[in-house]
Amino acid sequence: MALLELDGVTAGYTAVDALNGISLRVEDGEIVTLLGANGAGKTTTLRTISGLMKPRSGSIRFMGQEIAGASANAIVRLGLSHVPEGRRIFPGLTVRENILLGSSNRGRVPRAELDRDLEAAFGIFPDILKFADSPGWTLSGGQQQMVAVARGLMARPKLLMLDEPSLGLAPIIVQQVFRTIADIRARGTTVLLVEQNAHMALSIADRGYVLETGRLIVEGPPATLLDNEEVRAAYLGGRVTAE
Amino acid sequence: MSMIPQLLFTGLGIGSIYALVALGFVLIYRATNVVNFAQGDFSMIGAFIMVVLAIDLGVPYWIAVIVAVVTMAAFGILFNYGVYYPLRHRTFLPVVISTIGASILLQNGVLAAYGPHPQSLPPMLPFPGFTVGGVFLDSQYLLILVVTFALVALQYLFFERTMLGKKLQATSQDKEMASLLGIPVALMIGITFAYSAVLGGVAGILVAPLLFVSINMGSTIALKAFAASIIGGFGDVTGAIVGGLALGVVETFGAAYISVPYKDGFAFLVLFLFLMVRPQGVFGEKVAEKA
């Protein structure tokens, strides 16, 4: 049984469907990446999975349980954490408070356990420890991204969905973020990664899907996607050969 | 020589009432992005609940106060589900109209039940007050100052030191993100309405012995409180408190030194000056879209 399974999911903001029958699966322990151009429907797919949008039709199963149409609150309580695009740090709360609130889906958690998890989060992102008591808005984009991922991990998710974690970050920070994602999977958390930076995403992913205007056009391991002419032309550009 | 401290004392007392109501405005505004035009009516309802309990039913005064405060919290939740919740996915305009409708309904409901004659409540403490250094400290004003200070301190501790307080803040800053983290947004907004209704109710209960209890007592207070929250910087908690206190003081000094009939006008003169010179208020930031 796949950890997450979408079957014929359609969804949209207007009368026109932004997602046109998406079927995909994420197995336990995988890093799966969802690639595609701007407006292909990557973010909409994640928003539909996490309950921010209701699918118009199709089924979404998480650990065998149907979650299509459930509230965002109910879905995150099952252990499916969504770190949305743009990081969405609470600007008026401190870094520590932002990260602690990530545990809201777990109900009452003993303070000692929260402190251990918080320590573990700062262990993964040592760079943000010195900002623990600074308000969220004072951090740089890269630091905010780390806080956002740390906050997502505080949910102790079985599946962590990351939307464009590299967006707007300096190349050196991007490498650091991707190393951390690989590290998170090594610790046992399954990852569904939406990215524009296809090369970086495929460098750590087990499998990938390519979305084009609301449809999945190709699926496979990184080597297959990197070899696919259509994918190279559309999303990878000429840099494949240059590297 | 004791005139200035005397006026300052009175001004801060009445300013505390404005501050409590202004806080209610701000907390609901931060949680829902909508100005609650029935905020003043929370004070009126609180005062009328006291009239019913303490005068009509003869419940001992302090028990009546406790029952009234608890009733106000329940009223706030009811208000949330009746006035805000069904429209929560709409733009601000239907919600604003809904709160105006609620205000009209509440005032006319009480009018139908009690008639147009103002009611009165006795002072809450059994002694008139003290004289310290030539300044008479009226017991009701003292009580207002003490209760306001205690409420503001408690509120600060609650928002800054508890997880629930942090969840309420998170909800007011980004509702969608809060829901993604598993924070029950609707419950958080319900709690905000309950607390804002308590703040308004407490203001009404405290000020009732100084004014008559009438169906439009809330409108006058709310108008001043609204002005106070703009002067302080709309949406800012500290601004609401400082704005409320400042307005009370300005009004009291204006009445004493310039003109009593124009007492209500001073508040709006200050508001007008602020809107001209510093529209973002004392603590507000300039309105700008963040990237």
* 3-class secondary structure, A28: coil
Contacts of residue B46, Cβ cutoff 8 Å, sequence gap at least 6? B68, B69, B72, B200, B201, B202, B203, B204, B205
Which of A52, A92, A97 is facing B176, going by the closest CB pair? A52
Query: How many contacts does A have with B, using Cβ atoms within 8 A?
Result: 59
Alpha-carbon distance B240 to B203, whole Å? 14
Alpha-carbon distance B222 to B242, whole Å? 16
How far does A214 lie from chain B, in Å, by closest CA? 23
Question: Is the model's pLDDT at B288 over the cut of 60?
Answer: no
Q: How many domains does chain B have?
A: 1
* 3-class secondary structure, A105: helix
Residue B81 lies in a domain: yes
Alpha-carbon distance B21 to B40, whole Å? 7
Do B166 and A93 count as a contact with CB atoms less than 8 A apart?
yes
Question: Is the model's pLDDT at B252 over the cut of 80?
Answer: yes
Class of domain A1-79+159-166+194-243: alpha beta
Closest CA to B146 of B253, B11, B2, B12: B12
Number of other CB atoms surrounding residue A166 within 10 Å: 22
Do strands A31-36 and A207-212 pair parallel, antiparallel, or not at all (unpaired)? Answer: parallel
Asked if B180 and A72 count as a contact pair (C-beta separation under 8 A), the reply is yes
Alpha-carbon distance B169 to B193, whole Å? 14
Do B181 and A101 count as a contact with CB atoms less than 8 A apart?
yes
Query: Which structural domain, as residue segments, surrounds residue B205?
Result: 3-277
Report residue B133: phi and psi, to 5°.
55, 40
The model carries a pTM of 0.88
Residue B147 lies in a domain: yes
Residue B209 lies in a domain: yes
What one-character DSSP code corresponds to residue A139?
Answer: S
Task: Decide if A160 touches B, using CB distance below 8 A.
Answer: no
Amino acid at A158: K
What is the ipTM metric for this complex?
0.90
Report residue B89: phi and psi, to 5°.
-95, 0
Q: What is the mean pLDDT of chain B?
A: 91
Taking residues B201-229, report their average pLDDT: 93
Residue B71 lies in a domain: yes
| pLDDT 10s digits, A133-175 | 999 999 998 899 999 999 999 999 999 999 999 888 888 888 8
Alpha-carbon distance B32 to A6, whole Å? 34
Closest CA to A243 of A196, A178, A199: A199
| pLDDT 10s digits, B108-163 | 999 999 888 899 898 888 888 888 888 899 999 999 999 999 999 999 999 999 99
Task: Decide if A140 touches B, using CB distance below 8 A.
Answer: no
What pLDDT, on a 0 to 100 scale, did the predictor assign at position A168? 83
* Domains in chain A: boundaries: 1-79+159-166+194-243
Task: Decide if B174 touches A, using CB distance below 8 A.
Answer: yes
Residue B285 lies in a domain: no
Residue B204 belongs to domain with CATH number? 1.10.3470
Rg (CA), chain B: 19
Which of A52, A84, A97 is facing B166, going by the closest CB pair? A97
| pLDDT 10s digits, A79-92 | 999 999 999 999 99
What pLDDT, on a 0 to 100 scale, did the predictor assign at position B201? 97
Residues pairing with A5 in the sheet: A25, A61
What pLDDT, on a 0 to 100 scale, did the predictor assign at position A240? 42
